[in-house]
Structure 1
C-alpha cells in the first residue's frame, strides 16, 4: 500500500491515508498486510525491491519494513510432478532395465513364436500367390457348372463350361503378364540370388541378418492370417506382469484380484507416479470400497499373489483410510544390521517428544520410541535381542540431559555396567533395595503432583519437565523380581510387594514424568501380574518360543490377529513386533555392537560429554531418589556402586567415570572380574590378570606390561607385582589392607579372596 501525494510530480506533502481510517479498520488492514507480506531487512522503501513502509503506528514507532512476495512461476512450476520426481524416474529406469533383461531371457521363446508366425505367413502367401496366378477361383465355378449341366434329348450342353475354361486361360495369361507379377518374380529371384551369394561368400553367420526382411514380411502375413481366423496372438509377454517384476499398478491390480479384494472389472487409480522409495517401490492409490484395514486383513493373500514374503510388503494410510500407500521390496528389508543413528549425534536430543531412534521399520525408516507416557514391556527368548533393544533405549535416553536413568536387573549385571557412568541408580538383584527405590518413587510422584497442582496444571509442560526432571526406571530380567510362582514364600511375598508398587507407579507416574520399562526373558502367562500388565501399554515382543509366550507380552489374542513373534527366526534377531498407541508393526533394533567394537561405551562416553555440559551427570545435581536410599541404608547405588555392577557402596565410593572420565580403580576392576566369573570364593593371580586384561588392555595386557605374550610365568610375575603396587597405592591412607593368600585345595595356587577384596573396598558383608 503506497502513499499518494498532492501533486503530480510527487513533490507535495505526503498524505497518510491510514490516519483517516477508524482505529478498528486501521488495525485490521495492518494485520492483513502483515499476513500477506514477510519481514525483510531492507530498511528503506525501494520500488526496485518491492519493499514499502506501513504508515500506521501501533506503539508510537514505525513498523518494520516488509517485503511483498511476488510469485513467479517458472517452467518447472508448469511441468507435472511425474516429470520432475527423481524417485519416479528411478522407478522407470528400473522397469526399463528389468524389461530388457526379461525379454533377453525369453528371446528363444519369442524366436520360436516368430518362426511359427512366419510359417503361417509363408503358407498364406504362397497359397494366395498360387491362387492368383493359377486363377483357382475359376475351379469352383467350373465345378458348379458341371453339376448344373442337364442332358437334352440325350445330349449334354458343355458350352458354359468351355466358356469358363477359356476365360480362365485368358485371365491367367493376363495376370502372369502384369507388371506387378513380373516385378515380384524379379525381386524374389534377385533376393534369393543375393542370399545365395552372401552364404557362399561370407557364410551362414551373415545370412541371418539378411533374412530379416523376409521374416518380417512373412510375420506380417502371418498376423493378417491370424486376424482373419480370429485366433489370439501373443508375440511378446508383458514384463510388468511377471512374478518378479518391479511393482506396477498392473501387477498390483492382478494381485488384488487374486486375493479377492478387487472385482475383475475393477482397478486401482494411482494418485501419484510409482516411486522408488526406501529400497522398494511405493504405489499411492485409491479404489472404490478398498481401505487400509481390508488390505491389512488380506496382507498374507496379497503377498502370496505377489510371490513375496508377507514381511516384504507394507500398507499404510495417507490422507484417509481409502488413500493408501502400498510399498513392496524384492529383498529382505530386515536382512543384516543397520548402525544406530545415535552415532551421528553431537548434542542433546528430546527423548520425550521427539523420541529415541531405537529401531527401524520395513521401509528402513527410524521408529521413534517416545518417552512421553511410556509404560512398557519388552519380552523375548534368550539371544532374541532384548539386550540390544535396551542398549538402544538407554544409550538414546543418555543423550537427553533431563532424563535420570535407573536400572535394576535380576541377572547379568555386566550387560549394564557399560551404562554405569550415566546411571543415577544401578541395582543388581537386592529386591529389598528395589522396594525402597519404588517407595522413593511413590513419594516423588506425590511431590510432583502437588507441585503441578500448586501451579494450576494437571500435566507437566516443557518448563515443568525441565524443573522436575524426567525419570526412567528400567527393570531388566523382571521375572526374578516379580514371579510369584516360586517355592520360596518370602520371595513370593516380596514379588507381590514389588508388583503392587510398580503397578502404582505405572498408573500415576506417566502424568508427572515418571516412566517404567520392564524387560523379561522368558515370558509366560501369569509371570507378570495381569493388573500391572494392563498399565504397560507399550509392548515389544522379540522372538519367543510359542504363541502363549507371544500373547503374554503383546496381550491375549494378539497372535490370532496376525502378530506372530514365535515365527521369527534366530538369525533375524533383534527383529520383533512392537505394539503401542500407533498400532502394531514389525521392527528391528539398530545395531550397537559392544562385545566386539565397544560401540556402546563410545556412545556413553559422548553422552557423558553432553551431560557434563549441562551439569547432568550422576552426582552433579540434587537427586531425591538416591538421597532417600542413602538416608535409609547409608549406601549409594549411583553409577552402580563401587564396582559399577550394581552393588551399593558407601557414599563417595561409587565406581564409573566421573565428569572428567577417570578410570575405575584396581579394586573396582578386581570386583568386576569376580562378578564376570559368577563371584567365586577366590581367583588365582593369573585368572585375575586375564580378566583385568579384558577390562583394561591398555594397562594389563602383556604388551602394556612389556612382557612376551608366550611367557605366561613372566606375565604372572610382572602383572602380579604391578597389581600389588596398584592395590597398595589405592588403599594408602584408608587403614584397609588386601593380602594375597595361597591355598592347596584344588591345586596349589596364590591369589585373592572375594571377601577380602570386598572388605578392602569398604563393602560391608551381606
Structure 2
C-alpha cells in the first residue's frame, strides 16, 4: 500500500469522525506524525490492517452488525419465554389432588404414629429430667464463676504476662460478684414463687406445673445422639441437584465437542414436583438426543439411581436444549398408580382417557377416537395391564362397541366378556380364525361406515369424521374399539396371518375417521409377527421393556433408538408398567401406567354392564347372540327386513315419521330416538331415496318426506341376490 493511499484513507477517517462529532474537525496531524515515525521502525502494521478491512468495499470501513444499535428493539420489548407463575404440578388438577392427598395421608399417619408412642415419649422425658436438672445447676454455677474466662487467664499465665493476668483477674472478680448477686436474687425469687404457687394452686394445677417443669428439664437434658421422637417414616431423599453435578456428569459422557465452560444454564435449577429440573444449553453441535442415548452413563455420572434420571429435549427452542429431571425417588419404587375411574364415574370416549403418570407424577391422558394403538414389550413387563386401562375406559362409555380378542389363552380380558359385542380368548386355530374373521368384518364395517358418512349433510359432518353428535344419532356410526392382544399369534399364523395383516392395515389407514379404533398388542415385534404396513401407520405407540434396537424401532418408529428414545434401558420386571408413549403427547414421554388388577377390572365391568343395560346397548356376544358369522353390514341390512315387517297394509308410500315410530316399537333398543334424518342417512347408501308423500289432514293436503314400499322391496331383492351369488 503506497503513501497516497494511506493519506486518502486517513482523510476519509477524518471526515467520518468530523461527521460523527457534529461538524467539529479532529486534528490528526500529531497522529500522522507519530504514525510516520513508527513506519520506519515497524513497517506500519496498523495501516495494513486497516487496508485489509477496507479493500473489498468502496463505501468506507465496514460496520460490524453485532455492534449496531440504531433501530433495534429494546431487550424488554422482545419476545421471551415466560416461566409459569404456578408450577406445573399445581396447575394439573389430578396431580394437585394427588399431592394434597399424599400430604394429608402422611400427616394423618405421622399423627397416629406419634399418638401411640406418646407414653414412651413421656417416660423418656421423665428419665432425662434429672440430667436436665444437673445441666441447669452446673451451667448456672459455671456462669456465676465466670468459667468461660478461665482459658484466657490460663493463656496469660503461660505467656507470663502479669499485667494481662491482673486485668483479667479484676474483670473476673467484678463478674463473679455481679453474677452471684443475680443468681441469689433469682434463687430467692424462685423460692418465693414456688411457695406462692403451693398456696394458691390446686393439686391438679400443681401437678400440671410440675409436669411442665419436668418436660422442660427433660428436653434440656436430652442426649445429642438420641432423639426423643422416633421417625414415623424413614425417607431416602437424594441430595439437591447442583449445576456442578450436572456439568461434571455431562462431561463424563465423553461426547466430542463438549468441554468445561461450554455448558450453560439458561434457568436456575429448581425443584419441580418430587425432584429437580435443570435446563441446559449444550455446546454447539451437541443435541439432546446425544444425552438421552447415554442415560445410563448420565445416571452414573450423577451418582443417582437410573430410575430417577430422565433427560429429554426441547426442540421448540433448539436441538441443543436439554431438560433434565432428576427425581427424589426411583419411579419404580413409588407404589402402584391408582386409576381415577376405578371406583366411580363414567367416561366419554371422545375425551382423553386417564392412562398413567410421567416421572414427575403428572397425570397423562390419551385420546382414543381417530387413533390406533400399538403396544409392545417383552413378556411380563405390563403390556396387557396397560391395554386393560383402555378396555376399562372404553367400557365406561355405554355407546362404545367392544370387540375383544385375547390370543394368549390366559383370560386376561375375561372380566369384560359380559359387555363385549365380540369376544374370544384362546391360542388354538379356532380362536385365531375368530380373530381373523373379526378383522374381515371390520374391513366391511369400515366400508359401510364410509358410505354412511359420505351421505351425511355438510352442516352435520363438515370434517367428514365421526363426532360425539354423530355417534349419538344412532345411524351406525358409534365408536367401535377392537382389541387384539398377542396379535403376533394371529399375524404369524400360516393360514390366516397374511389376510389378517392386509385387513388390519386397511382398517388402520381408513377407519380412523369412521369411529373404528384398532388396538394391537404384541410381545414379539418383528416383521413376521407385525407387518410393517401396520407398525408404520399406527398413530399412538406404547413401548415397554424390549430386548434390542430392532424391537424398539418396530414399536416406536424408525430412528427412535437413534434419537435416544430407548425402551431397552428399562430394567426387567423392576420397571414393569413403565414405557415410552409416542404420538399421544407432543414428544415421546416416559409413562407409568395406572394399575388395575383383576378384582378392580371386574368392578369396572360390573358398572359398565349396568350402564349398558340402562342405555340398551348390550349386543352381540354380550346379548347371547352368535357373532361368529355375523356381518356388521348384514346387521345393518336388517333395517330393510324391519321396515317390511312394520309396513302399514295397503300403503305404498309412508311418511318417515310413521316408519321410525313403528320401528321404535318393534326394537326399542335399536331404533329409539330415530327421526326422519337418521332413516334417510341409513337408507341412502342402499340406493333408497325419500319422496314427497301427500296426506289429507283436516281437509288440507300435507306433504312430508317418506319412503316407497317398492324401493324397500327392490333393495331386499338385490341384497338376497348378492347373498346367493356369494
Length-normalised TM-score, structure 1: 0.46
Greater RCO, 1 or 2 (C-alpha within 8 Å, sep 6+): 2
Length-normalised TM-score, structure 2: 0.48
